[in-house]
Chain A
Amino acid sequence: MRKFLNVVIAIALSGFAFSANAQEAANLDELLEIVRQGKVNESAEFRQREQEFRNNQAQQQQLLADANASQRAEERRSDQLEAQFAANDDQLAALETEFTNELGALKEVLGVLTMVAGDARSQMEQSLTTTQFEGRDEFITSLIEKTSSGTQLPSIEEIERLWFEVQREMTEQGRVVTFDRSVKMTDGSEETLPVTRIGVFNIATAGKYLKFEQGLVAELDRQPEARFVESTAALQGASSGVAPFGVDPSRGSILALLIQAPSLRERVDFGGTIGYLILGVGAIGILLWIERVIYLTAISGKVKAQIKSDVVNENNPLGRILAVHEANKGADVETLELKIDEAILKEMPPLERFLTMIKLISAIAPLMGLLGTVTGMINTFQSMTLFGTGDPKLMAGGISQALVTTVLGIVVALPTLFLHSIVNGMSQRVVHTLEEQSAGIIAVHAEQNKGA
Chain B
Amino acid sequence: MYALIDIFEQVRDFMEKGGPVLVVIFVAILVLWAMVLERLIYFKTGHNRQVNEVMGTWEGRDERTSWYAHKIREAMISQITMDLRGSLGHIKTLVAVIPLMGLLGTVWGMIEVFDVLAVLGSADVKAMSAGISKATIPTMAGMVGALSGVFASSYIEGRVNKEAELVEDHLTMDH
For B115, the chain A residues whose CB sits under 8 A away are 260-262, 396, 400
Q: A403's contact among B16, B72, B77, B110, by CB below 8 Å, is which?
A: B110
Name which of B16, B71, B119 has the most chain A CB atoms within 10 A of its CB.
Answer: B71
Residues of chain B with a CB closer than 8 A to A432's CB = 78, 82
Q: How many residues of B contact A (CB 8 A)?
A: 39
B118–A400 touching, CB < 8 Å: yes
CB distance from B90 to the nearest CB of A (A): 6
CA–CA, A200 and B16, complex, Å: 27
CB proximity to A under 8 Å, residues B96-153:
96-97, 100-101, 103-104, 107-108, 110-112, 114-115, 117-119, 121-123
Nearest CB in chain B: distance from A150 CB, A = 46
Q: Are B75 and A439 neighbours in the complex by a CB distance under 8 Å?
A: yes
Interface contact B119-A417, CB-CB below 8 Å: no
Residue B36 lies at the interface, judged by CB distance under 8 Å to chain A = no
Q: Which of A222-263 contact B (CB under 8 A)?
A: 225, 257, 260-262
Interface stretch among A8-16, A93-101, A419-427?
Answer: A419-427
Q: A382 on the interface (CB 8 Å rule)?
A: no
Closest to A332 in B: B67
Prevailing SS type, chain B contact patch: helix
The CA-CA distance from A325 to B108 in the complex, in Å, is 58
How far apart sit A447 and B71, CA to CA, in the bound complex (Å)? 12
Most buried by A among B67, B69, B75, B123: B75
B89:A425 contact, CB within 8 angstroms: yes
Beyond A391-B121, A444-B72, whether A410 also contacts B89 by CB under 8 A is no
In the complex, A123 Cα to B37 Cα: how many Å? 62
Beta-carbon contacts of B55-84 to A below 8 Å, as 1s and 0s?
Answer: 000000000000111011111111100100
Q: Are B107 and A440 in contact (CB under 8 A)?
A: no
Q: Is A287 an interface residue (CB 8 A)?
A: no
Query: Chain A contacts of B67 at CB under 8 A?
Result: 333, 443
Q: Closest Cβ of chain A: how far from B74's Cβ, in Å?
A: 6
Given contacts A261-B115, A403-B107, A414-B101, contact A440 B90 (CB under 8 A): no
A:391-444 near B, CB below 8 Å? 391-393, 396-397, 399-400, 403-404, 406-407, 410-411, 413-414, 417-418, 420-422, 424-425, 428-429, 432-433, 436-437, 439-444
**B111→A417 contact, CB < 8 A:** no
Q: Which one of B71, B103, B112 lies within 8 Å of A440 (CB-CB)?
A: B71
Contact B97 A436 (CB under 8 A): no
List chain B residues, Cβ under 8 A from A261. Answer: 112, 115
- Does B172 have its Cβ within 8 Å of any Cβ on chain A? no
Assess A443 versus B68: contact at CB under 8 Å? Given A422-B90, A436-B78.
yes
Residues in B whose Cβ lies below 8 Å from that of A411: 104
Residues of A within 8 A of B121 (CB): 391-393
Provide the bound-state CA to CA distance between A447 and B67, in Å.
11
A441 and B75 in contact, given A393-B117, A410-B103, A417-B93 (Cβ under 8 angstroms): yes
Count, A-B residue pairs, CB within 8 A? 103
State whether the Cβ of A446 lies closer than 8 Å to any Cβ in chain B: yes
| Contact A436–B104 (Cβ < 8 Å) | no
Q: Which residues of B contact A260 (CB under 8 A)?
A: 115, 119
On chain A, the residues within 8 Å of B111 by CB distance are: 267, 400, 403-404, 407
CB-CB under 8 A from A413, the residues of chain B are 100
Asked if B29 CB lies within 8 Å of chain A CBs, one says no
* Any A CB within 8 A of the CB of B94: yes
Bound together, the chains give a CA A420 to CA B80 distance in angstroms of 24
Whether A446 pairs with B117 at a CB distance below 8 angstroms is no
Give bound CA distance, A417 to B74, whole Å: 32
Shortest distance in angstroms between B20's beta carbon and chain A's nearest beta carbon? 10
Contacts of B16 in A (CB 8 A): 225
Question: B108 — nearest CB in chain A belongs to which residue?
Answer: A407
> Does the CB pair A439–B71 fall under 8 Å?
yes
Pick the residue among A262, A410, A421 that contacts B107 (CB under 8 A).
Answer: A410
B74 contact from A439, A446, A447, Cβ within 8 A: A439
Beta-carbon contact of A414 and B97 below 8 Å? yes
Residue of B nearest to A440 (CB): B75
When distances are taken between beta carbons in the complex, the residues of chain A under 8 Å from B96 are: 417
Enumerate the 6 nearest inter-chain pairs by beta-carbon distance, A residue then B residue, closest first.
Answer: A440-B75, A436-B78, A421-B93, A443-B68, A396-B117, A400-B114
Measured CB to CB, the residues of B under 8 A from A are 16, 67-69, 71-79, 82, 87, 89-90, 92-94, 96-97, 100-101, 103-104, 107-108, 110-112, 114-115, 117-119, 121-123
Q: A392-B123, A443-B75 are in contact. List 9 more A-B contacts (CB 8 A).
A: A392-B117, A393-B117, A397-B114, A403-B111, A407-B107, A414-B97, A417-B96, A417-B97, A436-B77
Binding site for B on A (CB under 8 A): 225, 257, 260-262, 267, 333, 391-393, 396-397, 399-400, 403-404, 406-407, 410-411, 413-414, 417-418, 420-422, 424-425, 428-429, 432-433, 436-437, 439-444, 446-447
